[in-house]
Amino acid sequence: MKQLRITILIAGLLLMCICVSQAQQKKQVHHTGQSLAAAMARGQAVYTQVCLPCHMADGGGVQNMNPPLVGTTYVLGNKAALIKIVLHGFNEDVEINGNTYSNIMGAHDDLTDRQIADVLTYVRHSFGNKASIVNATEVSKVRAASKK
Amino acid sequence: MTNKKLFFAFCLSVIATVGLLSFKLIKNDNTVRGHEAVNAGLTLPEGFQAAVIADNLGSSRHLVVTPQGDLYVHLAGTKNGKGILEFHVDGDNATLKSSFANFDGTGIAIKDGYLYASNSREVYRYKLDSQDQVIDPNNPERIVTGLLDRRTHAPKAIALDNDGNLYVNIGAYSNICSEFDPNKTGCPILDSAGGIWQFKADKPDQTYADGIRYATGLRNVVGLAWNQQDNQLFVMQHGRDNLHVLFPNIYTVHQSTELPAECLFALNKGDNAGWPYVYYDWIQHKNMLGPEYGGDGKKLADPKYINPVAAFPGHYAPDGLLFYTGNQFPEKYKNGAFIAFHGSWNRAPEPQAGYCVIFQPFKNGMPDGNWEVFADGFAGTEEQKASGHAVHRPCGLAQGPDGSLYVTDDVKGTIYKITYQK
């Protein structure tokens, strides 16, 4: 019985050590991790309100009408081009993987630089997408350039 | 103590495993194909059967059946350069007879010895022989040309009356005209879109100038049909989108999911159905003033705009309308309307819906009583339906010479034949 207690004690100590070391590891990535998580959360809120009605919760889009946001260069490629689409809308046929999508997307220049950065970060990190984040300065630059 | 706990945990896991296994067995048992196979994956009222008679055709849109039992199917997107496929149907087998037309599209109809078919800018017709076969598939006669195609709501669905007229839908290339009417002085695109135009069925190369704007204020119509009992054109309008997104202070997400109604209109020449100024609320049974034009979800529409004769839940997307005149189905179906709902996309974040063929009973040429789902299950699983990633989406409807009902699907290009046996 005594032996069992010691074993449990050792096991418990070991478990605590593992937990502490993991917590420390988490602390190291704490800064960028948390800001990305925050941007993703804010981005998801914008996405749900503004984008989801057409592009769907899974980013899959709608047959013939609204293009998918999954694995396409429109989303994963040039950030300035992507920012421009959000700012000014899109009014031409898009062909993705052999399918054509033709709904008109309205301009969303009423969104702030931060909102656009967040929502694009969310889109580029969701639905299986993995691409670099978008920050508000990048949006601001594109907005200023396209005003000229 | 520990041993007891261990034993208890062991018992629990055994129970759980057995439970899961039995659940799996039951589930497997339920998906035994017997019933579903007969009905080609569709659920139907008792006594009806469905069969897949053709598959993987491309995007099969509207279709028409000849008295000899041949099908002409119009494709969105040509296949091998051909936009119309002809099948001969024998029982539950369809054999490809020919393919022709160097244009794709939705609209197709037969009237007075001609096969009519449209693309997004033009309407053509082919002369038929005594067996309703196309005589010269390479040289159709162009009846209408130069119609607007601005991509959104581009398909030009067609119908013909008994007095030599052709009716063509010209959909509005906009959700609610906001981008064209910023000061709300009146939607300017209604002069050449957002309505039904009437042309002569036999005059070549007509343009807008030759046609009559028969009815206006119709956002987009894909399902339309001439009602022989009333001698009148009936159309199904696709209602507007995004009430909540555009007016979050007036409409909840749920209201925006269910509103506005998809409307069945019985049209007379000169009618105005009110798009973009009004929409129909099928829950309140009222025609409402649109929020872009001062509406608040309570203000009523100007009564000069016509009311629908039947209304259906929002965003179901009616793509096919057929008045059933056959003798095969039970008596209650006679002269009633079948409507093919393509299925929604603008109900997110709530589950998508539609993807079915419904029946609207009629009496004395007008809707009478509640509509009911007739054929369902096109979308696949509940999850496939809810997400909008439907496996099949109903589009076109046609009635065979023996009273069978044909339904096209434009995702996989499946053609269903629905029959009834007492």
Question: A53 and B174 in contact by Cβ < 8 A?
Answer: no
List, for residues B91-149, the tens digit of each pLDDT value. Answer: 999 999 999 999 999 999 999 999 999 999 999 999 999 999 999 999 999 999 999 99
Domain B42-420 sits in CATH 3.90.470.10:
no
List, for residues B101-112, the tens digit of each pLDDT value. Answer: 999 999 999 999
Mean pLDDT by 10 residues, chain A (148 residues): 58 53 45 81 96 93 92 95 96 88 91 97 96 96 88
List, for residues B344-373, the tens digit of each pLDDT value. Answer: 999 999 999 999 999 999 999 999 999 999
CA atoms of B400 and B197, how far apart (whole Å): 28
Over residues B266-291, the mean pLDDT reads 98
φ/ψ of residue B22, rounded to 5:
-65, -40
Does residue A72 sit within a domain? Answer: yes
Read off the amino acid at residue B73. V
The ipTM is 0.73
φ/ψ of residue A83, rounded to 5:
-60, -40
Q: Does B245 touch chain A (CB under 8 A)?
A: yes
Does residue A20 sit within a domain? Answer: no
- Chain B positions touching A52 (Cβ under 8 A) are 348-349
List, for residues B170-203, the tens digit of each pLDDT value. Answer: 999 999 999 999 999 999 999 999 999 999 999 9
CA atoms of B169 and B219, how far apart (whole Å): 10
Out of B76, B151, B348, the one facing A57 most closely (by C-beta) is: B348
Does residue A21 sit within a domain? Answer: no
Q: What's this model's pTM, rounded to 2 decimal places? A: 0.86
Angle (nearest 5°) at CA A36 between A35 and A40? 115
Asked whether residue B75 carries a pLDDT value surpassing 70, the answer given is yes
* b/e code B129-162 from CB counts within 10 Å (16+ = b): eeebbbeebeebbebbeebbbbbbbbbbbbbbbe
- Give me the residue spans of the domains in chain B: 1-32, 42-420
Asked whether residue B27 carries a pLDDT value surpassing 70, the answer given is no
Contact B210, B150 (CB under 8 A): no
Question: A53 and B348 in contact by Cβ < 8 A?
Answer: yes
Q: How many domains does chain A have?
A: 1
Does residue A29 sit within a domain? Answer: no
Asked whether residue B4 carries a pLDDT value surpassing 70, the answer given is no
Question: A62 and B388 in contact by Cβ < 8 A?
Answer: yes
> With a CB-CB cutoff of 8 Å, which residues 330-349 of chain B face chain A?
345-346, 348-349
Distance of CA B234 to the CA centre of its chain: 13
Question: B152 and A102 in contact by Cβ < 8 A?
Answer: yes
Residue B21 is predicted with a pLDDT of: 39
Contact B123, B107 (CB under 8 A): yes
Domain range for A85: 37-147
Residue A121 sits in a domain of what CATH number? Answer: 1.10.760.10
CA atoms of B270 and B328, how far apart (whole Å): 37
